[in-house]
Structure 1
Amino acid sequence: MIKHASTTLLSAVAVLAATFVAAPAPAQAVPTPAPTSVTIAEVQGPGFASPLAGRAVSDVPGIVTTIRTTSPRGFWMQSAVPDRDPSTSDGIFVFTGSTAPTVTPGDAVTVSATVTEYRSVGSGETAATTANLGVTELTKPTVTVRSSGSPLPAPVTFTPFSVPSRFAPPVSGDIEQVRRVVPARSAQEFLEAHEGERVSVPSPRIIAPSNTFGDVDITSKPQSDGTIHGGAVLSSYNLPTGRIKVSALDGSKPVMNTGDRFAGPVVGPLDWSNFGGYVIDAPTLPAVVSSGLTPTVASRVNDRDLSVATYNVENLAPGDSAGKYAALARGIVTNLASPDVVAVEEVQDNSGAADDGTVAADATIARLTTAIAAAGGPRYDHRGIDPVNDTDGGAPGGNIRTVFLFNPSRVSFVDRGKPSSSAATVGVRGPAGRAQLSVSPGRIAPTDPAWKNSRKPLAGEFTFRGRTVFVVGNHFNSKGGDQSADGRFQPPARSSETQRTAQASVENAWVRSLQAIDPRAAIVIAGDLNDYQFSPAVRTLTGSGAGLTDLIATLPRAQQYTYVYSGVSQVLDHIIVSRSLRPSARYEVVHLNAEFAGQTSDHDPQVVRVRP
């Protein structure tokens, strides 16, 4: 409820009269705590959670700074005079529920309300299990406008040196148990100390493409953790700390790519995003200055080199648009320079995501190879193995799998035997120095528990210029179920790592069995490993570099990324080569998706040229 000061006395008399008439006999009275008159800083408190949560407060003074008329409706207000305690915020959100706020910026108000710690929850989560941080709010408010036209409190400017380089507080567990944040200690504490306040980031760089809601990630530390195109690169489990999301309250949805800039400062109250992470809710956004980012193009291959690529095509189904197929084809032909072999991940079956028992994917593959030929590329042949229905993860009914595309005018696929079922295991045999697969194509240990509800690695034997090359296509277990790295549980539980590390162990053992027969075997391991270059899974797969090299780790730090999530440029996709191929390997990540708002897939492909 919102009221003006001129009505306060009359309303108070009416309330007192009603209370007097309705009051029970003293013997039956149930005492209730009187509302507490406090400041915004006292409501916010020095920690992550309010010390007054659940209590009624009265006459909390503030200046209205920003209005939100869409759900969750309400307004932000801020103390006219800060309390000088760096641990406490002087701003707060007042939630007005189904009623749009009638105050305007510059109104000096007092608010009587209940202090609430609001926590957004996702599907399958509860307030107790979600990693989202709570936001201190005033709910069920009675708002009194004391005056209008007050100047807005000056925003807190986030300079490149404001936010600490450490991301999380040095605690283990729920950081909301921290009783007093130390803003100079970690990014999470710094941002919590300014929750609800007007903040400003001067002309910030955009570090991730805008999403369909128009939200975008920016950085207040443009000189830290930068990628070659202006993103924020992940090199360890300590997240880049300058990241802040931006959302426009006026509903505007500018299309932005990584590396673009805002022409002026982004100003607005600091909030917690339902997508995770802190967000500036800006009333309006400045104009966007384009960086002119264009997709990268791989260098042309020497005829004597074998080129092998990997590309996650994001749930490719026969029913996808002609535009998606054409864009994927251009990416393979033009940007990847028509590789000799492509390990393609996330190929769905012929009925797409319909859970109807279909497992064959020949229609999906045919449409892709036809599009590639139409784009001027080779007429690719393909090999793959259909999974058992609904056993390999992904969208139910989609039956995503890895498929090899190959240019038969450049390489030959060695078809050997035929697996009796999708559960058949590919082995390695042959005399010393002449390893061969027991079946080709085949799947590596598909019945091992490590691959439960996950894609099984596809192994194939190829011949290039008379030399045998073994290629393994991968799509390891997803990160589903992990706690948000931006959230309140620190360090976050990465439960999915356990399965990926087990998968890496199984595959590494298979590779070692091949190398035991032929130590100089030419091996290329490619695909979406769903994990970082420094992760336990990747270290396990490469044997910490013993006999296998993860090529993305050989690039300069600013180039080590294939995927962008929540403003973080990170590695999920890899090409790993055996020792015999390392000296000749020329490797490139081809950035044509992850940094662009108009992306065909959420992954960037990559390619290596080797001379077996």
Structure 2
Amino acid sequence: MRRTAAALATVLTAGLAGGVQTAAAAEPSTCGTPADHQIAEVQGSGGTSPVSGRTVRVEGVVTADFQRSDQLKGFFIQDPTPDTDPRTSDGLFVYSAAEVAEGDRVLVTGKAVEYNGLTELSPVSAVDVCGKGRVAPSRVRLPLADGAEPERYEGMLLRFGQRLTATETYTLGRYGEVTVAAGGRLFQPTDGHGSTQAETDARKLLVDDGSNVQNPDTIPYTDPRVLRIGDSAHGLTGVLGYGFGEYRLQPTRKAHFANTNRRPGRPRHVGGNVRVAAFNALNWFTTLGERGADTAEEQERQLTKLIAALRGLDADAVGLMEVENNGDTAVKALVDRLNQAAGAGTYTWVKHPHPGTDAIQVALIYKPAKVAPVGAPRSSQDPVFDRPPLVQTFRPASGRTPFTMIVNHFKSKGCSGADGPDEDQGDGQGCYNARRVAQAEAIGEIADGSQNPLVIGDLNSYAAEDPVEVLTGGGLVSQTKRFVRPDRRYSYVFDGQSGELDHALAGKSLSQQVTGTTIWHVNSDEPVFLDYNTEFNPPGFYRPDAFRSSDHDPILLGLRLR
């Protein structure tokens, strides 16, 4: 389970007084007992209620009803006659099952409390329906101007008239959540797109489903098709709540996402007479119950998807990451199934001379009819490598020009066991950056001693981070940077931010013979509940195809070799 803190940002459209339009503002109240506090007085101008712990009586119009047991078990009200202080919210959550409907004017008595950061009334001793009213949604935009905080809109009915793009679906199946952003998908600040973390946070908004239920029976935004990162919506409307560390919009109108990021059925054409790929296989294990599949059913589902992805790539040589380090057992099982689909003997593999002691290793498979190994495979005994690289020189079966694949999987950004220079330095590069820099330096030396080097793999470093700059500073050329548009240059999504963790860097001479490069976006844009796992994933969504075969997108290159 992953929960991440993020800032929501909104700005009122010019011309709206306080952002609230009230068709019923002039109607006299029909509540027999007057309120003793305005909602704005309960909310206050800060992060917590100034009357927290006190029983108050407020009047408002019901703007959203989420009272069912599988919802929030309460409703939102808003003052149709707001105060003039823009710092105070005019909306409030009421934790109560008392029967109300949207548009009811109600008088509510209850204790003002802060529940996990949300100002609400709980417990509630009385809810009196005393008429009808209407509150129009405040028109807001992302990001919020002048450093204003979203707290001013907590509990209020809002409408986002701008186009907002889905930028994270990791918790869509588990909690019914999707993160959207203004100005298109969000990128990691260290990926070289020119944004800071603060600017990135200010552009995003979490959209929830009005429920705290895990694994909802109906997953939002999956009919008639599953939502992909990059799809977009206009006019999102709902009330702004808070919970689990962040502000969240609870929709009051069904959101419709346009299919603005269509699934790529096949990789883009890359040309050349030799096709080379890099693919993180997301813990392909033949041993059940370890990092990969837990059951034989899951293993079969995983293998089916991996084969679909490899068949779609149709590469002549593929560097693989996250293959179980159990000799040749896992890689052989993959090749055997691949050859069942592609034809006997279509692929074979390079035996890793020094796979290391980590639970996973890098691997290299190839088509012997297309490329032939030149010399024995190599690796490195340098203790800087957790997962030693696999180095193999090939030549085209119909040519003489050699090229050397250097397959890598650098140390991850996780902080377990990190100390000294490997601790997070607060520069956005995560833990173990010093280790990855040292690994990049060692790979640079291997590349310098190789014929036409091609450094590929999961470097666990975004495009503008130190390890990648070490490699490019040493003369290697990023092929994705040459051939892939900046807005399509990503292979992984973490915390709602896309970035390029997987790389293909060629020596200068080989770079001149690269005819094209693409990142096949079959994984990072797809919801996680489409993968091979059976836990928490509704069975109706599984397909025996390449989509969500991993959490990383594969890279494909074309080489014109004589």
Fold shared by both chains (TM-score > 0.5): yes
Q: Which residue of 1 aligns with 2:339?
A: 373
Larger radius of gyration: 1
Q: Hey, what's the Cα distance between the residues in 2 that align with 1:87 and 1:233? A: 36
Q: Which residue of 2 aligns with 1:311?
A: 279
Q: Hey, what's the Cα distance between the residues in 2 that align with 1:45 and 1:219? A: 28
Does the 8 Å contact 2:112/2:121 carry over to 1? yes
SS of equivalent residue, structure 1 residue 366: helix
Instruction: Say whether residues 1:550 and 2:478 are aligned partners.
Output: yes
**Runs of 5+ unmatched residues, structure 2:** 1-29, 287-295, 417-423, 531-547
1:485-504 to structure 2, matched below 5 A, reads: 493=426, 497-504=430-437
RMSD: 3.8
1:540 aligned residue (465, 470, 488)? 470
Q: Which residue of 1 aligns with 2:366?
A: 406
Q: 1:235 to 1:311 in 2, by over 3 A?
A: farther
Which structure's relative contact order is higher, taking Cα pairs within 8 Å and 6+ residues apart? 2
Q: What is the deviation of 1:74?
A: 2.9
Letter in 1 for 2:481: A
Instruction: Say whether residues 1:442 and 2:379 are aligned partners.
Output: yes
Does the 8 Å contact 2:229/2:261 carry over to 1? no
Q: Which residue of 2 aligns with 1:245?
A: 206
Q: 1:151 to 1:534 in 2, by over 3 A?
A: farther
Instruction: Count residues with an aligned counterpart.
Output: 469
Q: Hey, what's the Cα distance between the residues in 1 that align with 2:425 and 2:78? A: 32
Normalised by the length of structure 1, the TM-score is: 0.66
Same amino acid, percent of matched pairs: 22
Q: Hey, what's the Cα distance between the residues in 1 that align with 2:53 and 2:489? A: 49
Does the 8 Å contact 2:492/2:524 carry over to 1? yes
Q: 1:343 to 1:37 in 2, by over 3 A?
A: farther
Does the 8 Å contact 2:185/2:230 carry over to 1? no
Letter in 1 for 2:409: H
Q: What is the deviation of 1:414?
A: 4.9
Q: What is the deviation of 1:300?
A: 5.2
1:433-512 to structure 2, matched below 5 A, reads: 440-443=377-380, 445=382, 447-448=383-384, 451=385, 455-465=386-396, 466-480=400-414, 493=426, 497-512=430-445
Q: 1:341 to 1:87 in 2, by over 3 A?
A: farther
Q: What is the deviation of 1:596?
A: 2.9
Q: What is the deviation of 1:415?
A: 5.8
Instruction: Say whether residues 1:41 and 2:40 are aligned partners.
Output: yes
Q: Which residue of 1 aligns with 2:120?
A: 138
Does the 8 Å contact 1:307/1:339 carry over to 2? yes
Q: 1:500 to 1:407 in 2, by over 3 A?
A: farther
Q: For residues 11-62 of structure 1, give each alpha carbon's deviation from its aligned partner in whole angstroms, at most 9, with x where no partner exists.
A: xxxxxxxxxxxxxxxxxxxxxxxxx964433443334x21638543522443
Q: For residues 227-250 of structure 1, give each alpha carbon's deviation from its aligned partner in whole angstroms, at most 9, with x where no partner exists.
A: 99xxx9965334274432322237
Normalised by the length of structure 2, the TM-score is: 0.72
SS of equivalent residue, structure 1 residue 213: helix
Q: What is the deviation of 1:461?
A: 2.1
SS of equivalent residue, structure 2 residue 195: coil
SS of equivalent residue, structure 1 residue 383: coil
1:210-609 to structure 2, matched below 5 A, reads: 210=169, 211-213=172-174, 215=176, 217=178, 219=180, 221=182, 224-225=183-184, 235-238=194-197, 239=200, 241-249=202-210, 252-253=218-219, 254-255=221-222, 256-261=227-232, 265-272=235-242, 274=244, 277-283=246-252, 285-287=254-256, 289-291=258-260, 293-299=262-268, 304=273, 306-318=274-286, 319=296, 320-334=298-312, 336=313, 338-348=314-324, 359-360=325-326, 362-376=328-342, 378-384=346-352, 392=358, 399-414=359-374, 416=376, 440-443=377-380, 445=382, 447-448=383-384, 451=385, 455-465=386-396, 466-480=400-414, 493=426, 497-512=430-445, 514-515=447-448, 521-543=451-473, 546-554=474-482, 555-585=484-514, 586-597=516-527, 598=530, 599-609=548-558
Instruction: Say whether residues 1:197 and 2:156 are aligned partners.
Output: yes
SS of equivalent residue, structure 1 residue 59: strand
Q: 1:6 to 1:82 in 2, by over 3 A?
A: closer
Does the 8 Å contact 1:587/1:608 carry over to 2? yes
Does the 8 Å contact 2:192/2:464 carry over to 1? no
Q: 1:216 to 1:582 in 2, by over 3 A?
A: farther
SS of equivalent residue, structure 2 residue 83: coil
Letter in 1 for 2:390: A
Q: Which residue of 1 aligns with 2:4?
A: none
Q: Hey, what's the Cα distance between the residues in 2 that align with 1:381 and 1:323? A: 22
**Runs of 5+ unmatched residues, structure 1:** 10-35, 119-134, 165-182, 349-358, 393-398, 417-439, 483-490
Q: What is the deviation of 1:442?
A: 1.7
Q: Hey, what's the Cα distance between the residues in 2 that align with 1:341 and 1:273? A: 48
Q: What is the deviation of 1:524?
A: 1.5
Q: Which residue of 2 aligns with 1:19?
A: none
Q: What is the deviation of 1:533?
A: 1.2
Q: Which residue of 1 aligns with 2:142?
A: 163
Q: For residues 65-123 of structure 1, give each alpha carbon's deviation from its aligned partner in whole angstroms, at most 9, with x where no partner exists.
A: 22333365333222222223333322233345xxx4544432423343143251xxxxx
